[in-house]
Structure formats: structure tokens, C-alpha cells
Amino acid sequence: MRDPDADAPEEVTWAGRFIVAKKRGRWEYVSRARNIRAAVILPLDEGHVILVEQYRVPLGKQSLELPAGLIGDDESDAGEPVLGAARRELEEETGYCAENWENLGEFYSSPGMVSESFSLLKATGLTKVGAGGGTGHENIAVHRVKLADLESFIAECRARGVGIDVRLLMLLGSSILAGCAMDRAGELLAALPDGVPANRSSAKAALLIAERVVALPRGEAPPVIGINGAQGSGKSTLAKLAAQALREFHGLSPALLSLDDFYLGKAARQELAHKAHPLCATRGVPGTHDVPLMVRTFDALATASAGIRTALPAFDKLADDRLPEARWPIFAGRPDAILFEGWCVGLDAGDVPPWAGPINALEAEKDPRGEWFAWSLKALREEYPAIWNRIAYLVSIELPDLASVIASRLAQEDGLQSDGGHKRMDRAEVTRFVEHYERYTRALWAAMPARADLLFRRDTDFTFTHLAG
């Protein structure tokens, strides 16, 4: 509804160099002089945000803010472009330059009393080129804050009397809704079967995945969500949590598949070891999966009607062999989504650097000329796109380093339930096992930040940090 004062004449009651006080009907408000606008920058740097702190006279105290500045505040800069002002202010205030810029739109900070608008620009690909601190007497302090720690950092600033810029609300959105989100995380954990090694951090990550799945466009076939990460990254747990969240909170029926359940059986790998290369006997790398079985399973799920029951392959890791089909779990009907987790899901052959010699002890001893690697890479290039091309949304989990992979995989091994007839791997065996995957794992870590739709980092304490997407 249009305000009755909208057509009243505008009166200027006071004017300064930068601010103009105005009145229109019963409304009193403030505008910027000379149509000056503001550029506000959201600088994101590898899971961190760059903030500035400076003294603000109107508040009478320090203020924690996003970097920002006026566009065309100098009369000689009339007509200055938004991006030009944003670049200048980011470097002057923080000492950073950005390779990538995205204009997120125009916003109003207090529309009931201020007519000023600001353009919000996201800056990524940051490089530190100076000390920052502003110009002249600004005396700006620069803070590089981990996004996962932002809530506590703001609380610390507030406790020492610092004012908080309202625009930081965009970074605190998930925390402000924590009452709902945290309750859901607790509900999700409570609904899990015993023995699933989940925590509140992984539950919150899974809730985000579920929200993204629900937002995907629907077609005739259920969307396929790929979830990748190195051994022990928590991808299997995250996939189980996301599937549970889709059932519990969104009323959907997802199918959960694991790349590991499509390993070739022991006899088939022994045959490959004889025909192609001895290292083919060890499950894991591309070429040791039954891709035709994957295709048949995905097709069966995508075309299933309400009365159809689809058997989902299962692999016994302690026995190192596929379970008999009579013991495979059954999915009834057509799923609303297919969650497909696996260590190399979505990795393209083009992501893997060409052979330039062995990179670990296993390759130096068993594959010094790269013949096994060439065989595996050929399989990745020719066979796996039949599955990868079905992925509608890709989630990736980073780990800090290969030592974390080994430690996590060893913990997984300790958690396997042995029937007494199969031996768990010790540290030396796990290290040797991980070396089979190392080349591809490093390629995955390098490729996923640019291609994954949703990227997490899992720290050594099993905390999940949302990095991008």
C-alpha cells in the first residue's frame, strides 16, 4: 500500500558536505549528499572472512564491520564505478586485492530513516599486498576470522564494548537460527542407529546437504547427489545423516549407495592381477569397480515403480569380497533422490596429472614405470563417466593432509566388526593401503574446490567446516 506522504514535496532541512537532512510530509530522514552511494565488500579467503575494526564517532566506540567505502565521495570522482570503489577500499582498508568479484545486489541498511543504499560485492581469490589500515587518520585494524569461529569472535568483540555492524547478520544467519538448527541436529543424531560415528558438526553439515537436495529441480529420474572424500573423511557417515535428514524432516525417500559396494569380487580382481598388473588385486582405484553393475543398479532405481524392489550390492571389507546377492539390502519403489558416496566419486581423468615418476614407496616398488597407473587412468576416462555424468549435485570433503587420511582410515579399521576369521589392518598395512589411493586423492583435493557444488573441510577433531557452495 502506498504511503499517503509519498507524493508530498521533499524539503531539505539541513545540508552538509556528506549528509542531507530531509522532510517529506510527516517523515524525517537522511540522505547522502550528491547521490553518493556505498560499496560494501564481503572478502572470503579459504574459509575465513576479512573484517575491519575502527573507531566510529557517532557510536562513540570501536565498530566491527565489513570493509566498505563511499562511491564518488570526492567530487573529482563523480561517476566512479562500483567495482573501482570496491577494489580501492578493499586494498586501502585491509591490504588485500581480490581476483574474483561478484556484485550481490543493492541493499538498504535502515530504510525507515536513511535513504542511502549500498552495493554488496563478494571478493574471493584474495592476495595480501599491503598492511591495510586505511588512509590518513583512519587507523583501521584488520581481522582474518575463521567462519566457523565467527560467532564466538563477535561475542568477544561485543564483550569488550565493540559495536557490531548490522551487515554481519548475513554471516550469522545460521547461528541466529541455531535454536531450530541445533534442535534438528540433536533430533537427527537421536534418530540414527547405534554405531554410526556422528557428532553435532557432521549432523549440521548433513542438514545443509539435505536442504540443497530438496532445492534441486525435479525431473523424471531422481537426482543423483555425489559425495566424495578421502578414506576416513566421514563421507559415509555424512551420507547416512543426509539420508536420515531427508526422511525425517523433508518426507523424502532417498536411496543410499556406496561406491565401495561395487568393488569387483576377490576372484575378479585376482584375474585382473594376472592379466593387467599385480596391483589390481587390491581394491580401490578406478578399474577395480564393477561399473556395469553400477549402471544397472542406477537404471533400476531410476525406472522403478511403486511395487518394484531393487537389490543394492553390498561388499564385506573384512572378507575383501562382495556379499552373496541373497544378503543385499532391498530398496522398495523409486527413490526421491540417490545419495552416492565414494572416495573418488566425480573425479575426472583430466583432473589427474600425467605420470612423472613414482610419488610413494608403493609406486616405486610395484609400479616404477606407471603401467598400473596408466591402466587405472584409462578405466577412469572410459568407464566411469557412465555414472559421473548422472550426478546433479556434487559434495566434497577435504582433509588437512595424507597423515589425517591414514589416521582416520586406521580408526575405521579398528571399528570394523570382525567375525574372528579376518584380520584388521595395522598402521603399516593401512599406510601401504592408502598409498594405492594417494595419487588420485591429491588430484581430488586439487580439483574439487573449483568443481564441487558444496565443499566441506573436516579437521582432525572431526569438525566439519563449510568452505564453499
pLDDT for 394-450, tens place per residue? 999 998 888 888 887 777 666 554 444 456 678 888 888 889 889 999 999 999 999
CATH architecture under which domain 36-175 falls: Alpha-Beta Complex (3.90)
d(CA 313, CA 324) in angstroms, rounded, equals 9
Q: Is the pLDDT of residue 12 over 70?
A: yes
pLDDT higher than 80, residue 58: yes
Mind giving me the DSSP string for 73-112? -SGGGTT--HHHHHHHHHHHHHSEEEEEEEEEEEEES-TT
Tell me the domain boundaries of the chain. 1-26, 36-175, 178-468
CATH superfamily placement of domain 178-468: P-loop containing nucleotide triphosphate hydrolases (3.40.50.300)
Report pLDDT for 438: 92
| Closest residue by Cα to residue 405 from 362, 366, 435 | 435
Return the SS3 of 59.
coil
The backbone region for 120, taken as left when phi is positive above 0, alpha when psi lies in -120 to 50, beta otherwise, is beta
Alpha carbons 126 and 133: distance in angstroms, whole number: 17
pLDDT tens profile 408-422:
777 766 655 444 445
Distance (Å, whole) CA 330 – CA 308: 10
Could you tell me the three cell numbers for 125? 581469490
Task: Provide the pLDDT confidence category of residue 177 given band limits of 50, 70 and 90.
Answer: low
Cα 210 to Cα 23, 203, 215: the distances in Å are 49, 10, 9
**Contact by Cβ (8 Å): 54, 65:** yes
**pLDDT value at residue 217:** 87
Whole-prediction pTM: 0.61
pLDDT of 271 strictly over 90: yes
Query: How far is 143 from 49, CA to CA, in rounded Å?
Result: 8
What number is the average pLDDT over the span 319-329? 94
| Mean pLDDT of all residues in 265-289 | 95
Residue count (the chain):
469
pLDDT in tens, 186-214: 888 877 776 677 888 899 999 999 999 99
pLDDT tens by residue, 211-243:
999 999 888 899 999 999 988 888 999 999 999
Own/partner long-range contacts of 369-373 (Cβ < 8 Å, ≥24 apart)? 371/277, 372/276, 372/277, 372/279, 372/280, 373/439
Give the Å distances, CA to CA, from 145 to 148, 254, 422.
8, 37, 47
- The H helix count followed by the E strand count for the chain is 14, 21
Residue 18, Cα to own-chain centre: how many angstroms? Answer: 42
Q: Is 232 helix (H, G, I), strand (E, B) or coil?
A: coil
Phi first, then psi: give them for residue 118, nearest 5 degrees.
-135, 150
